[in-house]
Amino acid sequence: MKVPLRWLADYVPITLSVEELAHRLSMAGAEVESIDRTGDWGNLVRVGLVTGVEPHPAADRLRLATVDYGGDAPQTVVCGAPNVAAGQKIAFALEGASLHDAHSGKTRKLKRSKIRGVVSAGMVCSELELGLSDEHEGILVLDDAAAVGTPLGEVLGQTVLDITPTPNRPDHFSVLGIAREVAALTGQAVREPEIEYPQEGPPIAQATSVEIADPDLCGRYIATIIRGIRVGPSPEWLQQRLAAAGQRPINNVVDVTNFVMLEMGQPLHAFDYDRLDEGRIVVRRPRPGEAITLLDGSDHQLGADHLLIADATTGRALAGVMGGADSEVAPDTTNVLLEAASFAPDNTRRTAAALKQRTEASLRFEKGLNPELAGLASARAMRLLLETGGGIADTGVADAYPAKRPPARVQLTSDRLERIAGVAMPTETVRSVLSGLGLPTRWKPPGTYVVETPPWRTDIALPDDVVEEVCRIYGYDNLPSRGLSGVLPEPSLDRPRRVRESIRDALANAGCGEVITYAATSAAALDAVPAGPSGAPSGDDALPLLNPMSSQHARMRTSLRPGVLASYAANARGGARAAGRLQIFEAGKVFLPRPDDLPRERTDVVLAMGGTPAASAHDPEPRAADLYDAKALLDAVAAALRLPFDYEGAEPPDAALLPGISARVGVVQGTGKRRRVTPVGVVGQLDPAVAERVGIAGDVFLAELDVDALAACEPEPLRIGTLSRYPAVVEDLAIVVEADLPAARVHAVLTGNRLVERADLFDVYQGPQVPEGKKSLAYAVTYRSPERTLTDAEIARVRRGIVGQLERELLAAIRESR
């Protein structure tokens, strides 16, 4: 909303600097986005008085004008304008002033020049030269009241506040509404505009009637009539007001309706009365198939709720949005029917959106206007129409008002005010703030303010709405600040959240970089990287967005894999990271669709790693990442969560990973018969075909963990036992087994004996020293008893037991022992 300061000053004296005014308005809720200044010509363009005009001695079409501009002596300049005359107040530019040049279209500095032999050091300006309009035929003649010597900016310049109203304040879409804010903020009263007008014509009931067929969509409709009005250009003051507020002047009738809309916030519409069939108004829903052509020439097929302002037969305007083309006020119009109405805000908004016709009128109606305002605006516009176009007003108004209610009253107790504001406010302060805002307030002892809602407000329905009015004008910054006190709530035990954060820390500490990718992706991206067994089968199953930001972000992801791999690919390509180890992860939500319900939102972690570290002084031939590096990162997670991880060949295989180089990750809980493994994820080498699809060259390893499943596994409580005081005995044991036997099976047997403290695999060998198809696993086995020093004989017995079990259960052979 553009609020010209001069216009604002019609209703309330401006007692603050414009900057301070803008600041106070913003703090109170009417945010001033910018202060726009137009017409600042500096000190070199001033109000001048033409004291004399003489012919140019050497040119018929030129004259010499003598101008008093408040300088030491009047100055004589050459002037080509036909309308220059002695006694005029004009805009006089001195040498050096920056003016608009008609020929080049650029701004240039005015220079002393000789025109047909006469030296001219100054200029009487046209509107074009001042940048005010394209008008170049004659000079700009100023109002007689302008004082000679005043910088022109002070007479013609405009300072305009550009205000962004909040949706609850339709009154801020009006100059008067802002004036009320200013009045309240500066302790003044608003000068209300004049609304009385002479009614000398016949009773209006003889000429028109108003019928509201659909009162759910129209709460009030007022029609008034002027006969014999002259349609023509508006007076200068009206044109200037509109232009300063950013509206193009059209003719006096249209200009008055626009002026009152900008002044009071109530949209109005003027019909050519003689084009209304039977001269009457019917507010109704359209008939099936009904259409309308609007003022801007656009044609619209109307839906069931697109409310029409019709005459006896035909729709003439789209209610609250725009008038129709065939009832428009034209230059030959003599009788005008003026509409001031109140339309349902939600329906107006829906209609304007559906027909793509969001207008100044619909913008105001959709925020909800008080039907009382229509009465004020109707009278105000009638007064201005009579003033600017003459004619005679019919007596009375045709007012259909199904929504009429007594004025709303809100009762606010001083106790409630104090409980919200946190301080006791003096009654006088409260009353002065509220009356400054134009909210009639009565004090009902012992402690209640009775506040009436004025015609321009719709946002004051509850006591707390009044509290806000008081606090914002009093100033939020003038209220005290206090810390919280009272009882603290029970904290929520959100284990998935804690597990997720622990995994983030564990992976970052282990050398991985965290990424966060968009939660929406495309079906194609999801299909490029097959999801794990718990993901959606295909990208087409992922939840689609109705209005995505782009086709790249059209579905909610069902897997983190595509996003993390895309990040991996982008960083692997990016110059500095082209060589080296890359390890990144994301912890985020995936969205698993459920019919007619919100999707299940599961938190996953996906890790992608690969590459070879850059060669260094200490490691000239570094090793490429392999599966065991990826497992090391998962072990860091396992350690952080105190959940032992177990790896087993993935079955069924994960479609994104290479079979044989991929494993299911499980959490082991319980021992012996109660041992169970909960699946929590996968790890493995990304299928090179998939890697190629997502733009990754070289081996990359991927791990995926289901945070919710991990969170469901509780770690064993940590119990610190007594440390054995007896010595350990370590011996090596090389065990020959089938080449494809998982080492974990051997380890389980070794550590199954309670006298074996640990068994560490230090060599895996396949080659000439073991039979074909076999491998040798060499373990350092540590024996220790918590109760005594083990003898050689006891150790030999334990070893025999273990070896026997290995031979029986795993068909193993012992290669050597020492």
Partner 1 sequence: MALPDLAALEADARRELAAASDAAALDGWRTRYLGRKGRLTGVLRGVRDLPAADRPAIGKGANALKGTLEAAFDERREALLRGASVAQAAASVDVTLPARSLPQGQLHPVTLTRRAMEGVFREMGFDIVEGPEVEWDSYNFDRLRIPRDHPARDMWDTIWIDPEDAGGPAEGAEPPPRRLLRTHTSPMQIRYLETHRPPIRVIVPGACYRYEATDATHEWMLTQIEGLVIDEGVSFPNLKGTLESFVHRFLGPDLETRFRCDYFPFVEPGAELGIRWGGRWLEVLGAGMVHPEIIEAAGLDPERYTGFAFGMGVERFAMLRYGIDDIRYFYANDLRFLEQFRGSAT
Q: Binding to partner 1 (CB under 8 A): which residues in 136-195?
A: 166-169
Q: Show Cβ contacts of residue 637 under 8 Å, excluding neighbours closer than 6 positions.
A: 503, 506, 507, 605, 645, 705
Site residues (CB under 8 A) for partner 1, limited to 62-81: none
Nearest distance in Å: CB 773, partner 1? 37
Nearest distance in Å: CB 211, partner 1? 23
DSSP state, 94? P
CB closer to partner 1 out of 465 and 635: 465
708 touching partner 1, by CB under 8 A: no
CB closer to partner 1 out of 65 and 584: 584
CB closer to partner 1 out of 227 and 589: 589
Site residues (CB under 8 A) for partner 1, limited to 191-250: none
The percent of the chain in helix, strand and coil, each rounded to the nearest 5, is 30, 30, 40
List strands edge to edge, sheet with 281-284. Answer: 210-212, 281-284, 308-310, 315-318, 322-323
Count of alpha carbons within 13 angstroms of residue 490, beta-carbon side: 3
Select from 102, 205, 312, 479 the one that contacts partner 1 (CB under 8 A).
479
* DSSP per residue, 737-802: EETTS-HHHHHHHHTTSTTEEEEEEEEEE-STTS-TTEEEEEEEEEE--SSSPPPHHHHHHHHHHH
* Span interacting with partner 1, options 33-41, 108-116, 142-150, 415-423, rule CB under 8 A: 415-423
Site residues (CB under 8 A) for partner 1, limited to 22-61: 26-29, 31
Select from 73, 145, 617, 718 the one that contacts partner 1 (CB under 8 A).
617
Site residues (CB under 8 A) for partner 1, limited to 440-469: 462, 464-465, 467-468
Q: How many Å apart are CA 516 and CA 199, to the nearest integer?
A: 71
472 touching partner 1, by CB under 8 A: yes
Q: How many Å apart are CA 66 and CA 43, to the nearest integer?
A: 20
583 touching partner 1, by CB under 8 A: yes
Q: How many Å apart are CA 120 and CA 139, to the nearest integer?
A: 17
Nearest distance in Å: CB 373, partner 1? 17
Which helix H or strand E contains 255, and what residues bound it?
A: helix 252-264
Select from 17, 104, 547, 722 the one that contacts partner 1 (CB under 8 A).
547
Burial of 565 (0-12, 13-18, 19+ CB in 10 A): buried
* Span interacting with partner 1, options 276-284, 576-584, 705-713, 750-758, rule CB under 8 A: 576-584
CB closer to partner 1 out of 145 and 598: 598
Q: Is there a contact between 775 and 798 (Cβ–Cβ < 8 Å)? A: no
* DSSP per residue, 350-393: HHHHHTT---HHHHHHTT---HHHHHHHHHHHHHHHHHHH--EE
Q: Is there a contact between 506 and 703 (Cβ–Cβ < 8 Å)? A: no
- Residue positions counted in the chain: 818
Backbone angles phi, psi at 562, to 5 degrees: -60, -40
Nearest distance in Å: CB 531, partner 1? 18
Q: Is there a contact between 253 and 335 (Cβ–Cβ < 8 Å)? A: no
Nearest distance in Å: CB 224, partner 1? 29
CB closer to partner 1 out of 55 and 167: 167
Q: How many Å apart are CA 314 and CA 549, to the nearest integer?
A: 42
CB closer to partner 1 out of 94 and 433: 433
Residues 199-237 as b or e (16 or more Cβ within 10 Å = b): bebeebeebbebebebeebbbbbbbbbbbebebeebeee
Select from 100, 504, 561, 664 the one that contacts partner 1 (CB under 8 A).
504
Site residues (CB under 8 A) for partner 1, limited to 342-371: 345-347, 349-350, 366-367
**Number of residues located near partner 1, criterion CB under 8 A:** 91
CB closer to partner 1 out of 153 and 165: 165
CB closer to partner 1 out of 450 and 516: 516
Select from 517, 612, 751, 805 the one that contacts partner 1 (CB under 8 A).
517
Site residues (CB under 8 A) for partner 1, limited to 596-615: 598-599, 601, 613
495 touching partner 1, by CB under 8 A: no
CB closer to partner 1 out of 155 and 523: 523
Preceding peptide of 653 cis, ω within 30°:
no
Q: Is there a contact between 705 and 637 (Cβ–Cβ < 8 Å)? A: yes
Select from 549, 615, 764, 811 the one that contacts partner 1 (CB under 8 A).
549
Nearest distance in Å: CB 39, partner 1? 27
421 touching partner 1, by CB under 8 A: yes
Nearest distance in Å: CB 634, partner 1? 14
471 touching partner 1, by CB under 8 A: yes
CB closer to partner 1 out of 31 and 211: 31
581 touching partner 1, by CB under 8 A: yes
Q: How many Å apart are CA 746 and CA 812, to the nearest integer?
A: 9
Q: How many Å apart are CA 744 and CA 631, to the nearest integer?
A: 14
CB closer to partner 1 out of 591 and 645: 591
CB closer to partner 1 out of 17 and 616: 616
Backbone angles phi, psi at 711, to 5 degrees: -65, -25
589 touching partner 1, by CB under 8 A: yes
Nearest distance in Å: CB 482, partner 1? 4
Q: How many Å apart are CA 348 and CA 218, to the nearest integer?
A: 10
487 touching partner 1, by CB under 8 A: yes
Task: Work out the number of other CB atoms within 10 angstroms of the CB of residue 386.
Answer: 19
Site residues (CB under 8 A) for partner 1, limited to 618-677: 618-619
Q: Is there a contact between 185 and 191 (Cβ–Cβ < 8 Å)? A: no
519 touching partner 1, by CB under 8 A: yes
CB closer to partner 1 out of 22 and 734: 22
